[in-house]
Amino acid sequence: MRKVLPLAVIGLLAILLIVSDHPFPPPSDPDRESRTAVVALGDSTMSGEGAGSYEPGTNGEDGGNWCHRSTAASIMKAQIQADRKINLACSGANSDKLRNDQLPQLRKIAGSNRVTAIVVAIGANDDPHFAEVLNKCFEAWGKRSDCTSSVAAEWSKRVRRMVPKVENTLNAIRQTMRDAGHRDADYQLVVQSYAAPVSPKMPRSLQNLSGCPLRPSDLEWVVDEAVPELSNGLRTAAEKVNARFLDLSRAGEGHEACVSKPQNEWFTRLTVDWEGLKNDKRAPHALQESFHPNALGHEQIGRCLTEFLATDKRDGTCLPRLDGALGLTTEG
């Protein structure tokens, strides 16, 4: 004879299904609540590309990956109250790679730690192919031609095609956390945009292979149109999944590559791994660090991220302050 549940129990189950996004979390480490973690996901701007000090196994050693996860990455420099800061980001990742490679790792971490924040930088390697655009500008400098005319006309379409891919990825992050027993309200989900690494204001003496072989006219489009539009697309994706948004589009103003003395710049200039060029397997990655935040840049971004995570504002913007440090302004 089948046992019939009392009506009161049935009613309670119905209420739980309505009010909870995950009423019965899967079994997890019983000590999970005593351990906190902050996790970084995404591509090169989050992994720490350009900062050096890469974790073993992420610098192409013995056929390993080229994620270039740095101990000096912004997430590691942020002053966050958590037992662990874990960087899963990988240089070159797009939305598909984040979902396929990083989310399984996130699920394991969330099963044994109470994740309090997830910071994501993704999208530039999807339809926009931002790094590819800069490479074309590099090539155009050598040919004395422009690099933007072929891209500018379709840039808005590229960004629009990117938005649903980032949105789907953020929803996948949410679902991964639910599957691991975390409610949406248990952690902060922060989407971070990209800073312009170069500026049209660079002196002519540095527009060469020893600095930044890029044409100022091309960089005007990159700084004034491409980067802001990319940032707005990411803001749209964040809004759709109720995530917070940190705008870095103007974070490097006055500190871009080739606009000042190297010790005051927050981004790498053209960077060549000369030893790597001698090795067939490493040669394709010899320029990988070029035009990314350097160690000082990651430190400054980490400073702004620290301020943002300490607020409850939905949107924030990182801007250089009068004292020279990167600071946070908020709205909403």
pLDDT profile of the chain (332 residues), mean per 10: 46 41 50 86 97 94 89 96 95 97 97 96 96 85 79 92 98 97 96 96 91 91 95 98 97 95 94 86 89 97 97 96 92 62
Cβ(244)–Cβ(23) under 8 Å? no
| CA 121/CA 128 separation, integer angstroms | 14
| CA 218/CA 221 separation, integer angstroms | 6
Neighbours of 308 (CB within 10 A): 24
Cβ(233)–Cβ(163) under 8 Å? yes
Beta-bridge mates of residue 248: none
| CA 28/CA 83 separation, integer angstroms | 18
Cβ contacts of 276 within 8 Å, gap of 6 or more:
282, 283, 285, 286
Beta strands per DSSP E along the chain: 36-42, 84-87, 114-121, 188-192, 244-247, 315-320, 326-331
Task: Give the number of C-alpha atoms closer than 13 A to the C-alpha of residue 122, restricted to the C-beta side.
Answer: 30
Cβ(15)–Cβ(95) under 8 Å? no
Which amino acid makes up residue 259?
V
Could you tell me the CA-to-CA distances from 260 to 5, 21, 270 in Å, in that order? 73, 51, 15
Which pTM value belongs to this model? 0.89
| CA 23/CA 240 separation, integer angstroms | 24
Quick one: residue 91, left, alpha or beta (phi over 0 = left, psi -120 to 50 = alpha)? beta
Cβ(252)–Cβ(297) under 8 Å? yes
